Structure formats: C-alpha cells, structure tokens
C-alpha cells in the first residue's frame, strides 16, 4: 500500500513539473499567437539568407518557401500534423498551418512563426486521413466546452513544435554550410568481370 501511495505521489509531482515547463505561445499586439525571436548574428547578411533558404529547402516536406525576392526577407508557409495517441495506436487528427518570416538587420536577425490555423482531418473512402476542409480555424478562437481540453492540447503541441523548430533553425544558421562536392564518376569496365 505504501508503494502505491509513494508511486502516486511521485507521478503527481512529475506531472505538475512537466506541465509547468510547457506554456502556450504568447500573443502579439493584434491578439494572434506568435513565436518571435531576435538573435545576434555572427555571419554576414547574404550568408544568413542563403542558410535560411537552405534550411527551408532541406525541410520542404514540412515548410515551403513562398518568397525571397527582397534583399533581407524570407517568407514561407508550413504545416505540422497533430496526432492523437491511444495506447499503441496513433492517428492524425488534423494539421496546424503557420507562416514563417525571416529578416536580417545590421547586427541581428529575427524570425517568427504566426498565423496558426487548425485544419481537422477525416477519413476518405480509401481509409486515408485527409483535410476535411481548406479553411483553417485560428488557434486564438475560443473552444466550446465539449472540446476545450483538446483545443488546449493543440495549442500546447503548436508551442512545442515552434520551440523545436526555432532550435533547429538557429542551429542550422549557426553551423557552416556543407560544400556540395560532385560525386566522382564511376567507370564501368565491361571487359573484366
């Protein structure tokens, strides 16, 4: 009996500690959720822009480059898939789309993720999960009482994703670009086999 009460108390303390670690994204002056970060730069403007575009092209399944015509600004659209797990089964319940912006200034660069929208999934006739609509629901909207916990979970998952995305993006900009070497030509000798 003491073991179960000790285990229950330990589980309760750990769950509270983990819950405090995760927070919902802050809101900007217009009331929309945003992940915004300003970082001091170590490389020149052109190099940072090239690295940012390189990061976006390497992660093209998750984010697609929209425009990079301006001198120091890069814009992209991205999405993350929300999954619901029950025991050993996992299924997608929807996706959250967002807008990514990147700008370089004299001595620093900034990037932000904003315009988070949730698009629910449904099963099609082949058993695949596909978006049920093309119009997203902004994460800022108030949830109904029936799905308030689920809506808060979507916000927390978007917050975790944004923090993880920012860490990967900053690490990529801080690292050096790998030079692409042309692969050596393979010669086929058909006389000896």
* pLDDT surpassing 80 at residue 187: no
Residue spans of beta strands (DSSP E) within 33-107: 34-40, 63-67, 73-86, 89-104
Q: What pLDDT sits at residue 50?
A: 84
β-pairing, 34-40 vs 89-104, is unpaired
pLDDT at position 160 is 92
Measured from the Cβ of residue 2, the count of other Cβ atoms closer than 10 Å reads 6
pLDDT band for position 12 (cuts 50, 70, 90)? very low
Q: Mind listing the pLDDT tens digit for each residue in 83-134?
A: 877 777 778 888 999 999 998 887 888 899 999 999 988 888 998 888 888 8
Go through the domains of the chain in sequence order and give each one's CATH number.
24-172 (3.30.530.80)
Residue with tokens 């822009």, as numbered in its chain: 49
Cα–Cα distance measured from residue 117 to residue 133, given in angstroms and rounded to the nearest whole number: 12
Asked whether the predicted pLDDT for residue 68 surpasses 70, the reply is: no
CA distance 49 to 44: 9
pLDDT in tens, 48-60: 888 888 888 898 8
pTM given for the model? 0.74
Q: Which two tokens stand for residue 10?
A: 């330990």
Q: Is the pLDDT of residue 19 over 50?
A: no
- Compute the distance between CA of residue 85 and CA of residue 91 in angstroms, rounded to an integer: 7
Question: What per-residue confidence (pLDDT) applies to 20?
Answer: 46
pLDDT tens for 129-181 read 888 888 888 888 887 877 788 888 888 988 999 999 999 998 888 876 555 55
């Amino acid at each position: 009996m003491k073991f179960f009460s000790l285990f229950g108390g330990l589980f309760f303390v750990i769950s509270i500690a983990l819950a405090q670690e995760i927070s919902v994204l802050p809101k900007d002056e217009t009331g929309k959720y945003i992940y915004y970060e300003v970082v001091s730069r170590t490389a020149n403007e052109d190099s940072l822009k090239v690295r940012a575009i390189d990061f976006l092209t390497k992660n093209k399944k998750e984010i697609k480059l929209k425009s990079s015509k301006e001198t120091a600004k890069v814009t992209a659209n991205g999405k993350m898939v929300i999954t619901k797990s029950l025991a050993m089964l996992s299924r997608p319940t929807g996706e959250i789309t967002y807008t990514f912006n990147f700008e370089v200034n004299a001595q620093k660069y900034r990037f932000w993720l904003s315009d988070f929208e949730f698009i629910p999934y449904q099963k099609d006739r082949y058993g695949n999960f596909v978006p049920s609509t093309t119009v997203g629901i902004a994460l800022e909207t108030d949830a109904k009482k029936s799905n308030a916990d689920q809506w808060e979970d979507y916000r927390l998952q978007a917050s975790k994703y944004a923090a993880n995305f920012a860490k990967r993006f900053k690490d990529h900009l801080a690292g050096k670009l790998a030079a692409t070497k042309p692969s050596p030509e393979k010669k086929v000798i058909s006389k000896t086999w």
